[in-house]
Amino acid sequence: MNPDLDAPKGIVGPDGMPAPKRFSVYRNNIIVSLKEAMNDGFPAVASLVGAAFFAAMSDIYIRQNPPKSPILALYGLDFPKFIAEFEPAASLPYLTDVARLEFALRLAYHCADSTPVEAQAFTNANVLSATLSFAPTVSAIRSDYPITQIRAAALGGPQPTGGAEDVLITRPDLDPIATAFPSGTAAIIDALQAGLPFGEAIEAGPEGLDLPAFIGALISGGAITKLEYDNV
Amino acid sequence: MTLGVNSLPNGVGVGYKPQHFSDILNAPAPVTWLEIHAENYMGAGGRPLAQLRALSDQFPISVHGVGLSIGSEGRLDPDHLERLKHLNDWLKPASFSEHLAWSTHDMGFYNDLLPLPYTETTLKTVCDHIDEVQDKLGRKMLLENPSSYLAFSESSMDEIAFLREVTTRTGCGLLLDVNNVFVSATNLQMDARAYIDAFPLDKVGEIHLGGHDEDEDDHGAPLLIDSHGREVADPVWALYAHTIAKGGIKPTLIEWDTDVPDWSVLVEEAKRAAAYISPVLV
């Protein structure tokens, strides 16, 4: 991967003469395929910085982070962290979080399938005392920026408005979605995942949260796979 | 039970790309089977596996691995072998194939198929690896001839002698990539038809056809690159005709992996291959 290293010894062309430059075909093929994986994986980041900047940035990332596995579906895991430390991108402070959002959506896309509970389960009179189990597709991202809107704008949507948000990632059936809620909402997910009953967990949320909308997003997103009631 | 080398139909297949999912279900002709890259279907679930399952209900599937690194000096990655077994058990594909190449190294994974020298030592390593794969998967596999941009001065036998010995020792079959033969023959200034004539065609369970890019090395010598990003070149079609005239009709795949075109373009390529296979019907 390192273009500064010499090609291995013993490589010859058809005339039997050393041909180190022919080895560069392999190096170039490697870089091209990984750049394609980065473009496929981070289309909004690429759009926000422009093709030339993205090509240069991902080129450096690829050389510093060669894949550890032949499975490229999840290549780019460390790209958000890389962007955060990438000086030339410092003028776009939201870029790291947009990359986190894109990776979280990709991760959810490849997650194991699971069967969500029926919406009816939430009509149980004791639902606030239940503990919830999440589908593996569920995650949350906290950001100081309106990253769902920034991402949408980068992919051709309207210009973003608003500020900080917490993003809920779910996967109703096969296509992941990102839903924005007020900052602090992710604390509910954390509390639920820590095993707190539903009623206590929602207390952890911010004031002004549209609770029915949040619960509706969990239900329609197929986020909950089990409701359990303590028989005490 | 050990499955045979493969049960692909003697027709034309294409490399499956997700953007063609609906087109394939709606209008597959003349395509009769599909090939996937194993490494793209090693996720835990979601749309990729759901679509693959739907396709496998309609078409024989060939699983083509690109990441096992059969030609590496070290041992095979047990985790990767386990993932392959999981996919093989879940999908029960009509064929499984891999490359005579290496891609793993202590430093990480090289996402390309790198060449190896042909010596008694590498022959033993490759055969041990193939035995391990076949034991693990409970089936015979096909091994693909590589495209070459360079040669190794330490090689003590030619590629065909190497491949022939691998099939004898392991019982595996071969996947003959006719484009790779043309690319390698041009790059290493050898005779492509002579390569085909010497190849153990009776061991071939599948043929690959794909496009290549034309370049030149720094001395101005022609250098073809196996890019899979365009139509199959005319001299490669001619070499394909020569191959099936000599070795008989084989399941034949159109490979197009980069700058993937609309389904209709792939269908035209598949029709061209079908015309060689069953000229009366097309």
What ipTM score was computed for the predicted complex, to two decimals? 0.88
Coil, strand or helix at A172: coil
- B126 vs B32, B98, B138, B142, B201, CA distance in Å? 32, 12, 18, 13, 20
Residue B49 banded pLDDT, cuts 50, 70, 90:
very high
**Chain B interface includes A33 (CB < 8 A):** yes
Chain B environment of A23 (Cβ under 8 Å): 149-150
Instruction: Flag if B221 and A110 touch (Cβ within 8 Å).
Output: no
**Is residue A35 pLDDT above 70, yes or no?**
yes
Looking up tokens 């890259």 gives B37
Interface test with B, best of A4, A15, A22 (most B CBs within 10 A): A22
Quote the minimal CA–CA distance from B40 to chain A in Å: 7
* Residue A159 pLDDT exceeds 70: yes
Give φ, ψ of A204 to 5 degrees. Answer: -75, -10
Averaged pLDDT, A65-77 = 90
- pLDDT bracket for residue A32 (50, 70, 90): confident
The more confidently predicted of residues B278 and A60 is A60
Chain A neighbors of B153, CB-CB under 8 A: 10-12, 16
Do B217 and A7 touch, CB atoms closer than 8 A?
no
Of the given ranges (A47-56, A77-86, B110-119, B181-190), which has the lowest mean pLDDT? B110-119
Return d(Cα B145, Cα B166) in angstroms, integer: 12
Overall average pLDDT of the B176-181 stretch: 97
Identify the weakest region by mean pLDDT among B22-26, B147-151, B197-201: B147-151
Cis peptide before B30 (omega within 30 of 0): yes
> How far is the CA of B52 from the CAs of B90, B178, B217, B270, in angstroms?
11, 27, 40, 21
Read off the pLDDT of each residue in A91-98 and give the average, rounded to a whole number: 98
| Mutation site, B42, B112, B118, B259, interface A, largest A CB count within 10 A | B112
This prediction's pTM: 0.91
**pLDDT band at B152; cut points 50, 70, 90:** confident
Q: Give me the long-range contacts of B186-190 (CB less than 8 A, separation at least 24).
A: B186/B222, B186/B224, B187/A14, B187/A22, B187/B148, B187/B149, B187/B150, B187/B222, B187/B223, B187/B224, B188/A13, B188/A14, B188/B148, B188/B150, B188/B151, B189/A14, B189/A15, B189/B221, B190/A14
Sign of torsion, CA B205 B209 B236 A37?
A: negative
Cβ–Cβ contact A10 with B under 8 A: yes
- Contact between B109 and A36 using a beta-carbon 8 Å cutoff: no
Question: Are A103 and A141 contacting, i.e. CB atoms less than 8 angstroms apart?
Answer: no
Return the pLDDT at B107. Answer: 54
Residue A3 has pLDDT above 60, yes or no: no
Report the residue of chain A nearest B45, measured CA to CA.
A112
Which residues in B lie closer than 8 A to residue A177 (C-beta atoms)? Answer: none
State yes or no: pLDDT of B2 exceeds 60.
no
State the pLDDT at residue B227. Answer: 87
- Of B69, B111, B153, nearest to A12 by CB-CB distance is B153
Q: Which amino acid is at B214?
A: E
How do the domains of chain B map onto residue ranges?
12-281
* CA R_g for chain A: 23
Q: Answer yes or no: is pLDDT of A200 > 70.
A: yes
* B250-273 average pLDDT score: 96
Give contacts of B228 with chain A, Cβ < 8 Å.
none
User: Which of the two residues, A10 and B135, has the higher pLDDT score?
Assistant: B135
Nearest Cα residue in chain B from A36: B258
d(CA A77, CA A100): 9
Return the percentage of chain B with pLDDT > 90, whole number. Answer: 78
Contact B46 A171 (CB under 8 A): yes
Q: Across the interface, do B218 and A16 touch by the CB < 8 Å criterion?
A: no
Flag whether pLDDT at B282 surpasses 50.
Answer: no
B12-281 — its CATH code?
Answer: 3.20.20.150
Average pLDDT for residues A11-32, to the nearest whole number? 75
CB contact under 8 A, A112 and B154: no
**Lowest-confidence region among A14-28, A157-171, B135-149, B177-191:** A14-28
Is the pLDDT higher at A6 or at B205?
Answer: B205
Burial of B280 (0-12, 13-18, 19+ CB in 10 A): exposed
User: How would residue B70 be classed by pLDDT, with cut points 50, 70 and 90?
Assistant: very high
Q: Which among A10, A21, A32 is the nearest to B217, CB-wise?
A: A21
With CB atoms and an 8 Å threshold, state whether B217 touches A13: yes
Mean pLDDT of chain A: 92
Residue in chain B nearest A24 by alpha carbon: B149
Which residues lie closer than 8 Å to A197 by C-beta, 6 or more apart? A128, A129, A130, A131, A230
**Which pLDDT score, from 0 to 100, does residue A49 have?**
98
pLDDT attached to residue B279: 67
**Chain B positions touching chain A (beta carbons under 8 Å):** 39-40, 42-50, 66-69, 80, 83, 103-104, 107-112, 114, 117, 149-154, 187-190, 217-219, 221, 223, 225, 258
HSE (CB half, 13 Å, CA atoms) of A196? 15
Chain A, chain B: beta-carbon pairs less than 8 Å apart = 119
Given phi > 0 = left and psi -120 to 50 = alpha, else beta, which region is B204?
Answer: beta
CA distance B260 to chain A (A): 12
- Pick the residue with more confidence: A63 or B95? B95
Q: What percent of chain B has pLDDT over 70?
A: 94
The pLDDT of B51-72, averaged and rounded, is 95
- Predicted confidence band of residue B104 (pLDDT cuts 50, 70, 90): low
Q: Please give the average per-residue pLDDT across B154-171, as a whole number.
A: 96
CB contacts, 8 Å: B80 with chain A: 69-70
Measure A173 CA to nearest chain B CA, in Å.
Answer: 8
pLDDT surpasses 50 at B39: yes
pLDDT for A47 equals 98
Residue B3 has pLDDT above 50, yes or no: no
Instruction: Read off the pLDDT band of B278 (50, 70, 90).
Output: confident
Contact state of A34 with B111 under an 8 Å Cβ cutoff:
yes
Chain A interface disruption, residue of B105, B111, B180, B224, most A CBs within 10 A: B111
Mean pLDDT of chain B: 92
Mean pLDDT of B259-275: 96
Where residue B110 falls among pLDDT bands split at 50, 70, 90?
low
Interchain proximity A73–B43, CB inside 8 Å: yes
Asked if pLDDT for residue B75 goes beyond 70, the answer is yes
Percent over 90 (pLDDT), chain A: 79
